[in-house]
Amino acid sequence: MQATDWCISRPNAPQDKLQAFIEYGCGIVDCSVIQPGGPCYDPNTVVSHANYVLDLIYYVQDSCDPALGMITTVDPSYGDCKY
């Protein structure tokens, strides 16, 4: 099944809250793709990594954190980084 919506970071989400969500989320889901050498590591930014983790949690738990994330219908995948 192809995804038709994704959970990504809100433009105004605080960087420290996004970083905390990455740390929390990576305790639940496999974050190897955002580690050095992974297909979603670059760009190495909090927002980019949070986008991936928010979407993975959304996929696994069917929940997009309303304080940090928002739903989009634009696929955030790029290069070898597939959401």
Whether the Cβ atoms of residue 13 and residue 50 lie closer than 8 Å to each other: yes
Confidence bin at 3 (pLDDT 50/70/90): confident
**Residues 6 or more apart whose Cβ sits within 8 Å of residue 27:** none
29 within domain boundaries: yes
81 within domain boundaries: no
82 within domain boundaries: no
19 within domain boundaries: yes
45 within domain boundaries: yes
Quote the domain boundaries for residue 35. 6-72
59 within domain boundaries: yes
Whether the Cβ atoms of residue 52 and residue 83 lie closer than 8 Å to each other: yes
The per-residue pLDDT for range 21-64, each reduced to its tens digit, is 999 999 999 999 999 999 999 999 999 999 999 999 999 999 99
Q: Which amino acid is at 49?
A: H
- Per the structure, the count of domains in the chain is 1
66 within domain boundaries: yes
Instruction: Find the helix or strand (DSSP H, E) in which 48 lies.
Output: helix 46-61
How much is the pTM?
0.93
